[in-house]
Amino acid sequence: MKSKKICMIGRFAVGKTSLVDRYVKNHFADKYQTTVGVAISTKIIDNTTKLIIWDIAGFEQENHYKPYLRGAHGIIFVADATEPESVHTLADIVADSPELKALPAVCFINKTDRKDDINWQPALDQSIAGLTAHSFWTSAKTGDHVEEGFAALSRLLS
């Protein structure tokens, strides 16, 4: 069994923890619980690979998150479909840690269940295309495309 380190990247409250919970425990909580430092979860996929998922908090603090990204095999960028700013945060993080560009990555555009609040312009798609060619409109709440997104990343890893 191979272990692969995956990092969840995205600004505060975009739903990183919720997406991991949905994927690993198939569970969603409405209540917001701040992640302290890093939360680590594991999930075995198809008996050959084990994902070690690093759910990292504190992308607002410059440099603070960098040590946690070391040695990652794959990246999940997370943006919030209702918050265009969250896409800019992703671009800022990658500008700050250019080594991320070399890693297999997918992007989750999350909270798509909040249809009335979605606030999206084509320019944002372009911004995301600069990070990865694989993006998924997800909802941690309903589970839409979450499994699919993680599976896509695992395929990129092997």
Ligand X SMILES: Nc1nc2c(ncn2[C@@H]2O[C@H](COP(=O)(O)OP(=O)(O)O)[C@@H](O)[C@H]2O)c(=O)[nH]1
Report the interface residues with Mg ion, using CB under 5 A: 17, 35
Cβ proximity to ligand X, 14 vs 131, nearer residue? 14
- Give the CB-side neighbour count of residue 20, counting CA atoms within 13 A: 26
Question: Which of Mg ion, ligand X, other proteins, none has residue 48 at its interface (CB below 5 to 8 Å by kind)?
Answer: none
Asked whether position 116 contacts ligand X by CB under 6 A, the answer is: no
Among 25, 27, 50, 101, binds other proteins (CB under 8 A): 50
Asked whether position 17 contacts ligand X by CB under 6 A, the answer is: yes
Residues in 51-80 at the binding interface with ligand X, rule: CB under 6 A: none
Q: Is 44 exposed, middle or buried (0-12, 13-18, 19+ CB in 10 A)?
A: exposed
Among 30, 31, 47, 67, binds other proteins (CB under 8 A): 67
Asked whether position 20 contacts other proteins by CB under 8 A, the answer is: no
Sheet with 105-110, side-by-side order of all strands: 38-45, 49-56, 2-9, 74-80, 105-110, 135-137
Question: Which of ligand X, other proteins, Mg ion, none has residue 94 at its interface (CB below 5 to 8 Å by kind)?
Answer: none
The SS3 assignment for 68 reads: helix
Taking contact as CB under 6 A, which single stretch among the options 64-72, 97-105, 135-143, 149-157 is the one that binds ligand X?
Answer: 135-143
Residue 110 structure tokens: 């999350």
Q: Strands 49-56 and 38-45: what pairing? A: antiparallel
Cβ proximity to ligand X, 49 vs 137, nearer residue? 137
Q: Is 20 exposed, middle or buried (0-12, 13-18, 19+ CB in 10 A)?
A: buried
The SS3 assignment for 121 reads: coil
Binding residues for ligand X, rule: CB under 6 A, are 10, 12-18, 30, 32, 35, 110-111, 113-114, 139-141
